[in-house]
């Protein structure tokens, strides 16, 4: 009887240990995506190259609930991850621009360096400037690059931390698009 108790206890601890080792310590939860919360709104100034087409400031609330939105946080100092995903995002934007809105949020960066990054990759989707990184905190962002997928109802559908590749991007877009 007593032997069984200790055997069970050891088995339980071994199971707990095994389960703990299976978990990914780098996995970071996104409260917004898990609860599919409405995307937090913000108004930020657009970087100069985009002002002609999109105006002085970009108000996210004006675009929520119309088309799905891909919200990408990046910075010019984020090397190499942001440099890897920039061409992927630009190509996807050119393919889907009729149905999905892409928006880049330049976070905790300096304007001249952000502009150099934009020129380097020829980014044509709108880019806003958030030197303080306040919007990142509202989205529960951990670090650049991070990409949020906002569905057609204006709710956060998914969050991808780290550089995004084409397959992952297309997978989320396919799930979000009707």
Q: Which of these, 89, 90, 75, lies nearest to 141 by C-alpha position?
A: 75
Number of residues that bind other proteins (CB under 8 A): 17
Judged by CB under 8 A, the stretch of 41-49, 84-92, 94-102, 130-138 that binds other proteins is 130-138
Interaction of residue 132 with other proteins, rule CB under 8 A: yes
Angle at which helix 111-121 crosses helix 81-96, to 10 degrees, equals 60
Query: Binder to other proteins among 59, 97, 134, 171 (CB under 8 A)?
Result: 134
Interaction of residue 140 with other proteins, rule CB under 8 A: yes
Work out how close the CB of 42 gets to other proteins at its nearest, in angstroms, rounded to a whole number. Answer: 13
For the chain, helix (H) and strand (E) counts, in that order, are 7, 7
126 or 140: CB nearest other proteins: 140
66 or 134: CB nearest other proteins: 134
Q: Is the peptide bond before 177 cis (omega within 30 degrees of 0)?
A: no
Interaction of residue 133 with other proteins, rule CB under 8 A: yes
Where does residue 133 fall: left (phi above 0), alpha (psi -120 to 50 degrees), or beta otherwise? left
Pair 96, 159: CB distance under 8 Å: no
Q: What is the rounded CA–CA span in Å between residue 65 and residue 109?
A: 29
Pair 92, 169: CB distance under 8 Å: yes
Interaction of residue 138 with other proteins, rule CB under 8 A: yes
Query: Binder to other proteins among 137, 153, 175, 177 (CB under 8 A)?
Result: 137
14 or 28: CB nearest other proteins: 28
Q: Is the peptide bond before 80 cis (omega within 30 degrees of 0)?
A: yes
Work out how close the CB of 150 gets to other proteins at its nearest, in angstroms, rounded to a whole number. Answer: 16
- Helix-, strand-, coil-residue percentages of the chain, each rounded to 5: 45, 20, 35
Query: Binder to other proteins among 58, 93, 102, 139 (CB under 8 A)?
Result: 139
Interaction of residue 29 with other proteins, rule CB under 8 A: yes
What is the contact surface with other proteins in residues (CB under 8 A)?
28-29, 31-32, 107-108, 132-134, 136-143
């Amino acid at each position: 009887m007593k032997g069984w108790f200790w055997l069970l206890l050891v088995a339980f601890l071994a199971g707990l240990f095994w389960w703990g080792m299976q978990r990914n310590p780098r996995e970071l939860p996104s409260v917004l995506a898990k609860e599919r919360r409405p995307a937090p709104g913000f108004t930020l100034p657009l970087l100069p190259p985009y002002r002609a087409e999109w105006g002085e400031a970009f108000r996210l609330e004006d675009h929520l609930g119309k088309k799905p939105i891909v919200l990408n946080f990046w910075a010019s100092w984020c090397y190499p991850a942001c440099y890897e995903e920039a061409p992927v995002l630009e190509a996807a934007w050119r393919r889907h621009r009729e149905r999905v809105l892409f928006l880049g949020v330049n976070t905790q960066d300096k304007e001249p360096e952000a502009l150099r990054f934009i020129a380097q990759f020829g980014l044509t989707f709108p880019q806003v400037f958030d030197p303080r990184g306040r919007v990142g905190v509202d989205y529960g962002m951990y670090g650049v690059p991070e990409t949020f997928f906002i569905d057609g109802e204006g709710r956060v559908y998914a969050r991808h931390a780290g550089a995004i590749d084409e397959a992952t991007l297309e997978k989320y877009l396919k799930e979000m698009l009707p």
